[in-house]
A and B are shown apart, each in its own frame.
Chain A
Amino acid sequence: MNLAHVHLLINHFPTIGFIIGLGLFLFALIAKSDELKRASLVVFVGIALMTIPVYMTGSAAEEMICMVPQKSPNAPCANPAVSRGLIETHRNAALLALVFMEITGAAAWLGLWQFRRRSRPSRVNLTAVLLLSIVTLAVVANAANLGGGIRHPEILSDPEAAAQGPAVVGLGLNSGALGRFILGVPWMWPVCETLHFIGLSLLLGVVLLVDLRMLGVMKNVSFATLHRLLPWGILGFGVNVLTGMMFFVAAPEQYTQNGAFHWKIVFVLIAGANALYFTMFDETWALGPGDDPPLTAKFAAVSALFLWVAVMYCGSMLPFLGNAF
């Protein structure tokens, strides 16, 4: 198995998962079921996390399917059956879909957090999630359709126009131009790198407070107090997803062929799922001052500490264990 294979395996998650999530969400709104609303928000958050490796493995698949070095980006693919223009169109549509997906995921997470604090949904948040998810489904379906057309041009309504590249088929973010901007402008990389560390500090600060409380430190602090800090951690995570994607879009080959980076993303995904436990579960929410957390909360705390340290370790080791820079 290689990353092109992984891309083929997981690239259906965003589209199919979002159809399921949006269907469930609409049903929950009609049935006025808070439990189903929460379930659909969890689906949106999960799919938003899953879309990150879908985009990244797509770049790896691009390198494998169209073995042309970066130095000559306009040269045709070695395999004449594959259109470089169509791949680029798909990549641009996928980047736009990723942006919408992450914004929807962040809004859905905020909805889950508000649900926990107020025991009822926020109408503004639910409206925002509904509108965002409809737009996201449209842009994701477009990206998926273009991706399918790379090997099956017969499914596209106008394969020749699509093959000519992004100038012909819109609805995408020009990832090539963005990459050139990030690499070409001298202040761009250091700004992203600095913000990546600020995001990490925000995220890890909140993770440490929550997890250490679960393990017996600051026992006189109720969990509801720490729960109020969670949006700061998620903001840090958001900053890091944004800046991390900037690096990836600028120099994908540094990451797609980098074992340390593969592990980093695996750990990020598991840690993201772990964060949902502290966002919405009853057993931690009920912890008052002096209360001892249940064993599951302690296990979640230890695993979160391990996962985030592993993320940082793999990130730091990109040039040493992997081939970056």
Chain B
Amino acid sequence: MPLGLTVVLLVLGVTAVVGAVGYLIDKSAERNEHK
């Protein structure tokens, strides 16, 4: 795989993981505050 594509895919992958974690924390906060 070309070097540039590897870098882009890895960066997007890690960013997606970070985004998912942030989203879950935020959703959990929202759910608990509505209890």
Contact = CB atoms under 8 A, between A and B. Distances in A.
A282 to B, nearest CB: 18
A190 interface: yes
B7 A194 contact: yes
A117 B14 contact: no
Given A118-B33, A187-B6, A231-B26, A239 B11 contact: no
Contacts of B21: 235
Contact of A228 (B15, B18, B29): B29
Given A232-B22, A235-B18, A191 B32 contact: no
B25 A231 contact: yes
B6 to A, nearest CB: 4
A194 B3 contact: no
Contact of A117 (B3, B15, B29): B29
B10 A187 contact: yes
Nearest to B19: A235
A222 interface: no
B11 A195 contact: yes
Contact of A110 (B7, B15, B25, B32): B25
A118 B29 CA distance: 9
B35 to A, nearest CB: 9
Given A114-B29, A118-B32, A195-B14, A231 B3 contact: no
B22 A187 contact: no
16 contacts: A114-B29, A114-B32, A117-B29, A117-B32, A118-B32, A122-B32, A187-B3, A187-B6, A191-B6, A194-B7, A195-B11, A195-B14, A195-B15, A198-B18, A232-B22, A239-B14
